[in-house]
């Protein structure tokens, strides 16, 4: 079994936005509310043989670790080198230094090169390993592939296939305009975690970087996953509202746990 926790479900700026007085940001910062309070996107994976794995390490990493009751992790998988996905690596590196234990990070080679160019000292306390080829995470075969990230360039999606062949799922937090080839690993999944920053984004398509909910709903009709969780949400999404989503599709909330049984 794999257990998946959503420790952050926000887009690059999180919710609330410091500058914003909209209804969603107001609720997110209120003491009485906070259902819309969202740290930058990150998931925690627990698997018996491989221990604790995180996907991404954004600038809210420390707060997310505290909320999860974690003091250390076994490894981190990285999707791309944007700050909202790697901003916590400096803090993790320092934690590894104090613990006297070198951290393990896995990412495609071009992502590691970008991280190294910006933070060359991280290698002192974090071992970066390229995972352009499939890797094993306990009983799960992990593969990744490059996906379009609109005006923001590229990202990588991660697919997890259990060795039994009984379960498969994908984490794809930052993508838009996927080609037919890039969509192939998204068909017939047990779980799809997909980034959708807005319900309906009205900015010009060429200026955007992530699918909106309306576009995602059309795509999943084709891909036919058994369950879908939307993440990477901006302050446009209000979790207090009903959006009339199909029964097998929902917005992820902070602390949500999903269990993928493999027996």
DSSP secondary structure string for all residues of 185-249:
GGTT-SEEEEE---SS--S-GGG--S--HHHHHHHHHHH--S-EEEESB-TT--TTS-----TTE
Strand 126-130 vs strand 135-137: parallel, antiparallel, or unpaired? unpaired
| Distance, CA of 107 to CA of 93 (rounded, Å) | 16
On whether the CB atoms of residues 106 and 136 are closer than 8 A, the answer is no
- Give residue-wise pLDDT tens across range 141-200: 999 999 999 999 999 999 999 999 999 999 999 999 999 999 999 999 999 999 999 999
Whole-number pLDDT of residue 262: 86
Per-residue confidence band for 33, with pLDDT thresholds at 50, 70 and 90: confident
| Distance, CA of 47 to CA of 261 (rounded, Å) | 11
On whether the CB atoms of residues 77 and 140 are closer than 8 A, the answer is no
Q: What is the CATH number of domain 2-260?
A: 3.60.15.10
The two counts, helices (H) then strands (E), for the chain are: 7, 14
pTM higher than 0.95 for the full model?
yes
Strand 228-231 vs strand 191-195: parallel, antiparallel, or unpaired? parallel
Q: Which sequence spans correspond to the domains of the chain?
A: 2-260
């Amino acid at each position: 079994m794999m257990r998946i926790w959503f420790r952050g479900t926000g887009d690059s700026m999180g919710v609330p936005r410091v500058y914003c007085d909209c209804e969603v940001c107001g609720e997110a910062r209120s003491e009485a509310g906070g259902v819309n309070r969202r740290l930058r996107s990150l998931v925690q994976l627990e698997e018996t043989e491989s221990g604790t794995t995180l996907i991404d390490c954004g600038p809210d990493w420390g707060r997310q670790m505290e909320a999860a009751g974690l003091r250390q992790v076994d490894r981190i998988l990285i999707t791309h080198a944007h700050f909202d996905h790697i901003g916590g690596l400096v803090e993790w590196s320092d934690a590894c230094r104090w613990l006297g234990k070198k951290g393990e990070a896995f990412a495609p080679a071009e992502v590691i090169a970008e991280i190294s160019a910006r933070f060359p000292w991280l290698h002192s306390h974090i071992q970066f390993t390229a995972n352009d080829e499939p890797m094993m995470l306990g009983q799960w075969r992990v593969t990744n592939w490059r996906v379009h990230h609109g005006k923001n360039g590229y990202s990588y999606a991660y697919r997890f296939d259990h060795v039994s062949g009984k379960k498969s799922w994908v984490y794809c937090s930052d993508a838009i305009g996927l080609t037919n080839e890039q969509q192939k690993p998204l068909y017939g999944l047990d779980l799809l975690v997909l980034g959708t920053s807005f319900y309906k984004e009205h900015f010009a398509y060429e200026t955007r970087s992530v699918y909106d909910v309306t576009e995602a709903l059309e795509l999943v009709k084709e891909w036919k996953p058994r369950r879908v969780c939307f993440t990477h949400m901006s302050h446009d999404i209000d979790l207090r509202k009903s959006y009339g989503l199909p029964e097998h599709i929902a917005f992820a909330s902070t602390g949500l746990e999903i269990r993928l049984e493999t027996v």
